[in-house]
Amino acid sequence: MDRRDTVLALLALGAAPLAAEAQQATKFARIGYLTSSQGVNPDLPEAFRQGLRDLGYVEGRNLVIESRDAEGKVDRLPALAAELVALKVDVIVVTFNTATRAAKQATETIPIVFAGSADPVGSGLVTSLARPGGNVTGLSGLGPELVDKRLELLTQAVPGISRVAVLRLPGVLGERMDKEMLKEAEVAAQALGVRLQFVEVRGPDDFDRAFSDMTRARAGALTVLPGNMFLREHRRLVDLAAKNRLPAVYTSREFVDAGGLMSYGANRPDLSRRAATYVDKILKGAKPGDLPVEQPTKFELIINLKTANALGLTIPQPVLGRADEVIQ
């Protein structure tokens, strides 16, 4: 080997580690995104993507996102979760408790991050908020704690109401969550001096009967408890409330954007954006069971003034002044 060949060989040997480092640097993170109703709020996956971009992840450069949407058909979630597991994704990000349960049943090893779970401890998704344990962690959307606040805002927005209908979907969020929400509602009602009418539904086919029950009982307003099915059917619920001239408070802004009177709850796009920080920590070696579940930090009150006018309501100025957004 002459001097020229020797130099080239040494250069090749020196380049090998650099090539390996470059290959490592451009390794793609493969994220699974599982939801049951992504189409209801397209802002959620985009907020998650923005959170990843803020942390330096760019799709096509160092990131691949495998999205699976059950489109409201909850029975499809187990198969979709299994697809993501078969793809050997690095992390599975989920929305709502139903998707989280499906992912948890599909894998005990791939990290799972939920963005807005209701009562993750009571529903058995994690052992505790401080030490989730296992392969699941994320952000809680809260649940019972907001029921009394919605009732309070509703009575302030519609002064003089004496009877409020409470629309609920029993069993979906778990027995503990159901009991806590009902207890919170009853305690709040007593403090506010209103009577409650609990109205149960099992599915959309029960909606017409439910609103007939509210009318017969002369409910003066309505509050809708959390439930994925309610979110999927939000337009129909809003239409029925308008048809029956019932001022209503809902759990999230999707209802108000569709014509509902008002909503109060955690800012769900903010939860999705913050879920990206969990993904980043896990990709860098953190164990999901060691990452505490975070509570919401941003809440929003949305009021639809056009709907209020259609109902003949004048929302008191102090309530309007507290709104994060007023839809004219």
Q: How is 284-308 classified by DSSP, letter by letter? A: TT--GGGSPPBPP--EEEEEEHHHH
CATH code, domain carrying 315: 3.40.50.2300
- Angle among Cα 41, 71, 118 to the nearest 5 degrees reads 60
Do the domain assignments include residue 93?
Answer: yes
Question: Rounded CA gap, 53 and 59, in Å?
Answer: 9
Question: Are residue 72 and residue 126 in the same domain, yes or no?
Answer: yes
Question: Are residue 157 and residue 178 in the same domain, yes or no?
Answer: yes
- pTM score, whole prediction: 0.84
CB–CB of 81/59 below 8 Å? no
pLDDT of residue 212: 97
Question: Are residue 166 and residue 72 in the same domain, yes or no?
Answer: no
Question: Are residue 46 and residue 19 in the same domain, yes or no?
Answer: yes
Question: Are residue 173 and residue 304 in the same domain, yes or no?
Answer: yes
- Torsion region of 300: left, alpha or beta (phi above 0 gives left; psi -120 to 50 gives alpha): beta
pLDDT of residue 72: 78
Helix, strand, coil fractions of the chain, as percent rounded to 5: 50, 20, 30
pLDDT in tens, the chain (328 residues): 555 555 444 445 554 454 444 444 457 899 999 998 755 677 889 999 999 999 999 999 999 999 999 987 889 999 999 999 999 999 999 987 889 999 999 999 999 999 988 778 877 889 999 999 999 999 998 766 789 999 999 999 999 999 999 999 987 776 777 888 889 899 999 999 999 999 999 999 999 999 999 999 999 999 999 888 898 899 999 999 999 999 999 999 999 999 999 999 999 899 999 999 999 999 999 999 999 999 888 899 999 999 999 999 999 999 999 999 999 9
Structural domain including 188 reads 144-266+300-327
Do the domain assignments include residue 1?
Answer: no
Report which of 153, 318, 306 is spatially closest to residue 221, judged by C-alpha positions.
Answer: 153
- Torsion region of 245: left, alpha or beta (phi above 0 gives left; psi -120 to 50 gives alpha): left
pLDDT of residue 123: 77
